[in-house]
Amino acid sequence: MRNLFHLSALFAVLTLFSCTGGAPSEPLCRISDELSARLDTLNIDNPSEATAAACLIKVDKKVLLIRHRLSNKLDFPGGGLANSESPACTAHRETWEETGFNVEVSQYLATTKNGLALFGCALDAGVETLPDAFDAPPWAKLEVKGLVKVDPFSIDEKSMRFADDLIPLRDGYTQIVINQH
């Protein structure tokens, strides 16, 4: 009985100290075989071209965007390139950090004039069953107010965190739709 008590106490202490409010370990970068084969021919690894990367995730006839905490405006899940990280892996990492979804980066769409490499990313986590607005993961709440699914043609540039991202959003969505058919 005494050993059982010590073992229970040990588990309680381990549980207490192992539970943190931080993010779980990030998953490995997932890039489709098709995109991986084409990355050498795409001119997106030049740091002067791309300084950040993001995912465009099509969900039914909508796209998944984040609602930025400070501005309350919509934005792509994405962020700045880390040292020696490819733009595709940056899009994957930043999307996971801001949405909690382990996407597959499957298609290069464009690089915006602001240096954002935009990728089409596939998600098979059943997000289509979620409501149009839902909470971000707990570790993302410092930056992300929530996640939203929106029709890219029903919003205007005032809805976007960066007004110049509306046209790449719509063009990217159209490219994804065309490539799916």
Q: What mean pLDDT comes out for the span 147-156?
A: 98
Q: Which of 34-43, 92-101, 107-116 has the lowest mean pLDDT?
A: 34-43
CA separation for the pair 172, 118 (Å, rounded)? 8
- pLDDT tens digits for 112-121? 988 999 999 9
Looking at residue 5, its pLDDT comes to 37
Distances, alpha carbon 143 to alpha carbons 84, 87, 110, in Å: 24, 21, 25
pLDDT for position 44: 57
Q: Hey, where are the domains in the chain?
A: 25-180
**Which pLDDT score is estimated for 26?**
81
**pLDDT at 136 exceeding the cut of 90:** yes
Residue 13 reports pLDDT greater than 50:
no
Judged against a pLDDT cut of 50, whether residue 108 lies above it is answered with yes
* pLDDT digits 0-9 by tens, 48-74: 578 999 999 999 999 999 999 999 999
Confidence class of residue 11 from pLDDT cuts 50, 70 and 90?
very low
> pLDDT value at position 43?
59
Q: Which of 34-48, 54-68, 122-136 shows the lowest mean pLDDT across its residues?
A: 34-48
Mean pLDDT over 27-56 rounds to 79
Q: Using pLDDT thresholds of 50, 70 and 90, give the confidence band for residue 170.
A: very high
**Torsion sign over Cα 90, 103, 44, 66:** negative
Given CATH 3.90.79.10, say whether it is the number of domain 25-180. Answer: yes
Tell which phi-psi region holds residue 84, choosing left (phi > 0), alpha (psi between -120 and 50) or beta.
left
